Chains A and B, each alone.
Chain A
């Protein structure tokens, strides 16, 4: 157990659905991240939060909406997704935003039908 918990582990949704991914870290870290992992592609950084403030939005479509109510919790709200959004969504945390040592959760495997 890495100390970063993601729920749900699997999610199947239609293009008109609204769903949310949840991430919780128990490591006392101050920075949290959302990454997208598609088959045979590098991890894509989506969003970064540092002390609850969003510091990075890597040109992510507005159908992905992050929320960070405190340093321990991170959400990714999904609506009107496309089939090409199907991927593994990974949450990570680090002690500080500049820290290279990321701790990842096990991810949510998302399928958009």
Chain B
């Protein structure tokens, strides 16, 4: 079993739609959760960062962590064509500084 599982997509939505991107993880010790966004021919950039369970909102983006089900989500409201990218979830445990990444979900927002 992979430590972090993520549907590769692609996920295609019309402009203005609400997007839900999800990951599951296997280790209940993981405490830190991140979403990175990667545009084509670019490196990943940190988009959202949360600690433990709960929600975090930043503009049109909301990151949600449910530790009871080991499920992390990223919601994008009023999606724009410029949101088209690959979204990588990542996690980090207390006992290890190493980040563990999912394989990424490719999102396409159609104008």
Assess whether A45 is in contact with B2, with CB atoms less than 8 Å apart: no
**Complex: how many Å from CA A64 to CA B103?**
23
Q: Assess A101 versus B49: contact at CB under 8 Å? Given A40-B8, A43-B88, A106-B42.
A: yes
Q: A65 on the interface (CB 8 Å rule)? A: no
Assess whether B43 is in contact with A104, with CB atoms less than 8 Å apart: yes
B103 to chain A, nearest CB (A): 5
Interface size on B, residues (CB 8 A): 24
Residues 1-42 of A, flagged 1 when their CB comes within 8 A of B and 0 if not, give: 010101000000000000000000000000000000000111
Interface positions of A from 60 to 75, Cβ below 8 Å from B: none
**Complex: how many Å from CA A2 to CA B42?**
10
Assess whether A4 is in contact with B43, with CB atoms less than 8 Å apart: yes
Chain A residues near B41 (CB-CB < 8 A): 106
**Complex: how many Å from CA A45 to CA B104?**
15
- For chain A, give the interface size range: 20 to 34
Assess whether A43 is in contact with B101, with CB atoms less than 8 Å apart: yes
Chain A residues near B100 (CB-CB < 8 A): 42
Q: B34 on the interface (CB 8 Å rule)? A: yes
Chain B residues near A97 (CB-CB < 8 A): 97
Chain B residues near A81 (CB-CB < 8 A): none
Chain B residues near A56 (CB-CB < 8 A): 98
Interface positions of B from 65 to 96, Cβ below 8 Å from A: 88, 90, 92
Chain B residues near A43 (CB-CB < 8 A): 44, 88, 99, 101
A residues with CB within 8 A of B: 2, 4, 6, 40-43, 45, 56, 90, 92, 97-107
B residues with CB within 8 A of A: 2, 4, 8, 32, 34, 36, 41-46, 49, 88, 90, 92, 97-104
